[in-house]
């Protein structure tokens, strides 16, 4: 009988574990690639974009549409132009660590003013079927922008100083490579009226779709934990919609 050591062969169980770990690693790498370069999930924290986007909505954002790329990439697949009416996700100019979602109403060269809360672009009233005006008291700065007669306590000081040099004949002139954005919920949105233009370089992407929504507590009618979880799931799935 031989006294040598027996060769160690991996068992079927070990092979299965290695295969599973490899598959998990591949999924993680693929997910990181997707989130880094193509789409990324975001959650809506406030009601400034209601009714288009609601508090608790989870978005998938297309990061390629407006992506900055090299010369070769621009020749093969040039980035889309940011157009008036587009929804955009961008780094908040006051605190770039935060992401905001707003709608573009002014592109470079546009003359912007608001009268009675309605937007005029280059002297013409902008048709905005998405705009929503929640009940609120009149506000001269918000509704008659750009009003330099009174400041709003929520206005960023640096923007207030810059605003005075950006107004020509009662219009705000949108500079090159910058955009004027507003929330769809016009009476309850801090936007370019309060902190200024959005640089092209700060735009992250374009919202594609809402893939889930966390309902408000008052919308949950179930009496048990399980019933409430079921309500959350049903409401979340029904909220799925493509954004335009």
> What local confidence, expressed as pLDDT, does residue 189 receive?
95
Known active-site residue 201:
no
Tell me the per-residue pLDDT of 144-182, one tens digit each, with 9 for 90 and over.
999 888 778 899 999 999 998 999 999 999 999 999 999
Phi-psi region of 154 (alpha: psi -120 to 50; beta: other; left: phi over 0): alpha
pTM, two decimals, is: 0.75
- Mean pLDDT in residue range 14-20: 58
Tell me the per-residue pLDDT of 44-90, one tens digit each, with 9 for 90 and over.
788 899 999 988 888 888 887 776 654 434 444 556 789 999 999 99
pLDDT above 70 covers what percent of the chain? 66
> What local confidence, expressed as pLDDT, does residue 100 receive?
93
Are the C-beta atoms of residues 89 and 101 closer than 8 Å to each other? yes
Of 188, 192, 103, 102, the residue nearest 139 (C-alpha) = 188
The fold of 38-242 is: Umud Fragment, subunit A (2.10.109)
Cβ within 8 Å of residue 172, ≥6 positions away: 106, 111, 112, 113, 145, 146, 163, 166, 180
Question: How buried is residue 88: exposed, middle or buried, by Cβ count under 10 Å (0-12/13-18/19+)?
Answer: buried
Lowest mean pLDDT: which of 1-10, 46-55, 114-123, 212-221? Answer: 1-10
The SS3 of residue 180 is: strand
Catalytic residue (choose from 102, 147, 189, 192): 102
Cβ within 8 Å of residue 173, ≥6 positions away: 109, 110, 111, 112, 166, 167
Are the C-beta atoms of residues 41 and 99 closer than 8 Å to each other? no
22, two tokens: 């490899």
217, two tokens: 């507590």
> What local confidence, expressed as pLDDT, does residue 13 receive?
56
Lowest mean pLDDT: which of 67-71, 118-122, 158-162, 194-198? Answer: 67-71
Place of tokens 């880094």: 36
Of 135, 138, 136, the residue nearest 150 (C-alpha) = 138
Catalytic residue (choose from 22, 23, 48, 165): 48
Known active-site residue 223:
no
Tell me the per-residue pLDDT of 202-236, one tens digit each, with 9 for 90 and over.
998 888 888 877 765 555 565 666 665 666 666 65
Of 116, 244, 98, the residue nearest 187 (C-alpha) = 116
> What local confidence, expressed as pLDDT, does residue 148 receive?
82
Task: Tell me which of 14 and 52 has the higher pLDDT.
Answer: 52
- In the DSSP assignment, the letter for residue 35 is I
Of 50, 60, 46, the residue nearest 206 (C-alpha) = 60
């Amino acid at each position: 009988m031989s006294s040598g050591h027996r060769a160690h062969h991996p068992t079927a169980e070990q092979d299965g574990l290695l295969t599973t770990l490899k598959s998990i690693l591949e999924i993680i790498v693929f997910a990181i690639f997707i989130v880094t370069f193509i789409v990324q999930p975001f959650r809506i924290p406030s009601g400034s974009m209601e009714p288009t986007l609601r508090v608790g909505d989870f978005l998938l954002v297309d990061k390629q549409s407006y992506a900055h790329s090299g010369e070769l990439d621009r020749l093969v697949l040039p980035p889309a132009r940011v157009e008036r009416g587009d929804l955009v996700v961008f780094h908040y100019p006051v605190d770039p660590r935060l992401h905001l979602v707003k709608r573009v109403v002014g592109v470079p060269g546009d003359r912007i003013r608001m009268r009675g809360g309605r937007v005029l672009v280059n002297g013409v009233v902008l048709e905005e079927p998405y705009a929503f005006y929640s009940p609120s008291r009149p506000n001269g700065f918000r509704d008659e922008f750009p009003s330099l007669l009174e400041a709003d306590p929520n206005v960023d000081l640096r923007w207030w100083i810059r605003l005075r040099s950006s107004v020509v004949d009662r219009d705000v002139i949108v500079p090159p490579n910058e955009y004027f954005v507003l929330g769809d919920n016009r009476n309850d949105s801090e936007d370019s009226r309060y902190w200024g233009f959005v640089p092209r370089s700060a735009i992250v992407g374009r919202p594609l779709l809402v893939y889930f929504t966390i309902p408000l507590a008052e919308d949950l009618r179930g009496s048990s934990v399980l019933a409430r979880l079921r309500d959350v799931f049903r409401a979340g799935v029904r909220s799925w919609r493509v954004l335009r």
